[in-house]
Amino acid sequence: MANQEYKIEGKGSYESTSFELNTVDPQEPSRQLHGGHPRRSIDEAPEEFPVKTVFPTPRTTFGWGAHESVGEEAAALGMDHALIVTTGLSGTGIVDSVTDILDDADVASSVYDGVTSNPKDFEVHEAYELQQEDGADGIVALGGGSSIDCAKGVRLVEAHDGRDITEFEGVDKAENPSNLPMIAVSTTAGTGSETTIYSVISDTDEQYKMALADLGMLNSVAIVDPALHRTMPPHLTAWTGMDALTHAVEAYVSRLGVKSNRAMAIEAIRLVAENLPQAYANGNDREARENMAWAQFLAAQSFNSAGLGIVHPMAHVLGGVYDLPHGLCNSIALPAAMEYEVPATPELFADITERGFGVDTSDMTEMEAAYRAVEEVEKLKADLNITQTWDQIGMQEEDLEKCSNYAFEDFCTEGTPRDLDPATIADLFMVNFDEPWVRYDPSEEPSRITL
């Protein structure tokens, strides 16, 4: 049993001696996307992930009014009858608008509007049943990550004659190519799911979120329209924006080292830092909304190949166990995880401070500049009035063992730049479990937003 202690300066820590955590099995690397968890043996090659994979992204229509092209795109893909997969987007009028646009292009449609946040396995199958009943020959995913991830699952299930979606957890589990063309229209600025090969679906029997990665799930076309993002209320703008920031930070420092995607990640961080507070404070700020649309798009394209880190597995677990909002969970986990990771790659975190957050680091050491990135994230969270602790949003300490083990098993852990095990993850949960852990005290400096 792992029994190690990780301590963030100035705060208590969790010593993992009260329960059994999974031990690391060096013989079982198959769950990993790029070939193995960073385990050490004397026979291992000195370079981790020596062969990189850069995954494709779909053709994308981007800009104000882009969603109006959904009809012609569907027709061009050969759709006669589209299944719209959505949460319903209540009160926005978006579903009716897209239905009308499809109709004008002579594409009939059925609407599955049963998707919920942290999309569930049975929702994938309900949507699949509707697709089968109505003979839909294509899919239009309409919403944030939940709707798009659910639609990706439908595509996978349909290609395998209705097999259970839980059979496809992991990497490259599809045996058949997808038959249904799919258009993903994003209505939030955070997930980036419209441009990735990933889907995250809740396994309701096991009460956790499965991560799936498969080229067969990649949608045919993506549509990113900032006009739709304006319908988000402030708290959703904040949470989804912090999801985008987390994608970018985790991709930038990922130990997978996909350098081609770092430029996208650092630009995404810069755009979030400069625009998320404004988009949150004024949902009609056109420039801020457009820049956040680019930010989430760039961040997702970056992690599509560069992978993520431990923040996402922690958020996946809490989404599955408690049905908590993904972006909010990322926001709570991110600063302490960065603090833990800085010693592994200070040069990259220093880059985030200087090039991402625009801080003059000329009078700082590299390590000082690196830790400053943690403070910049904390300042951003303060501007967005984001919750600081896990127990405020409903996590129970009695679930710590389960949550830590599940998070470790998530293949997204592989990008974490600093070595970790389930005991470390338990420590990361506990460090701001019931009181905030912060490097920077927001009360010492007024918000950059004048309310």
Residues 56-115 that bind Fe ion (CB under 5 A): none
Give burial (CB, 10 Å; 0-12/13-18/19+) of 204: middle
Total residues at interface with Fe ion (CB under 5 A): 1
The β-bridge relationship of strands 81-86 and 108-112 is parallel
Q: From the CB of 435, what's the least distance to Fe ion, in Å?
A: 25
Closer by beta carbon to Fe ion, 225 or else 243: 243
How many Cβ atoms sit within 10 Å of the Cβ of residue 206?
15
Closer by beta carbon to Fe ion, 109 or else 331: 331
Q: Phi/psi class of residue 418: alpha, beta or left (left: φ > 0; alpha: ψ in -120 to 50)? A: beta
State the sign of the Cα–Cα–Cα–Cα dihedral 148, 152, 155, 161.
negative
Closer by beta carbon to Fe ion, 216 or else 313: 313
Per-residue contact flags (x/-) with Fe ion for residues 235 to 274, judged by CB under 5 A: --------x-------------------------------
Q: From the CB of 299, what's the least distance to Fe ion, in Å?
A: 9
Give me the residues paired with residue 183 across strands.
140, 221
Residues 117-136 that bind Fe ion (CB under 5 A): none
Q: Could you tell me which of 107, 200, 186, 79 has the C-alpha nearest to residue 143?
A: 186
Contact 436, 35 (CB under 8 A): no
Torsion angles phi and psi, residue 54, rounded to 5: -105, 115
Cα torsion at 314, 320, 326, 329 (round to 10°)? -40
Q: From the CB of 264, what's the least distance to Fe ion, in Å?
A: 15
Closer by beta carbon to Fe ion, 190 or else 422: 190
Q: From the CB of 300, what's the least distance to Fe ion, in Å?
A: 8
Q: From the CB of 242, what's the least distance to Fe ion, in Å?
A: 9
Closer by beta carbon to Fe ion, 155 or else 209: 209
How many Cβ atoms sit within 10 Å of the Cβ of residue 176?
12
Regarding 376 and contact with Fe ion (CB under 5 A), the answer is: no
Closer by beta carbon to Fe ion, 6 or else 429: 429
Residue, CB closest to Fe ion: 243
Q: What is the CA radius of gyration of the chain?
A: 21
Closer by beta carbon to Fe ion, 69 or else 188: 188
Q: From the CB of 316, what's the least distance to Fe ion, in Å?
A: 9
Q: From the CB of 250, what's the least distance to Fe ion, in Å?
A: 9
Q: From the CB of 2, what's the least distance to Fe ion, in Å?
A: 27
How many Cβ atoms sit within 10 Å of the Cβ of residue 42?
4
Helix (H, G, I), strand (E, B) or coil at 47: coil
Q: From the CB of 312, what's the least distance to Fe ion, in Å?
A: 6
Maximum C-alpha span of the chain: 66
Closer by beta carbon to Fe ion, 223 or else 249: 249
Torsion angles phi and psi, residue 140, rounded to 5: -115, 110
DSSP 278-328: HHHH-TT-HHHHHHHHHHHHHHHHHHHHH---THHHHHHHHHHHH---HHH
Contact 394, 14 (CB under 8 A): no
Closer by beta carbon to Fe ion, 310 or else 423: 310
Name the site residues for Fe ion (rule: CB under 5 A).
243
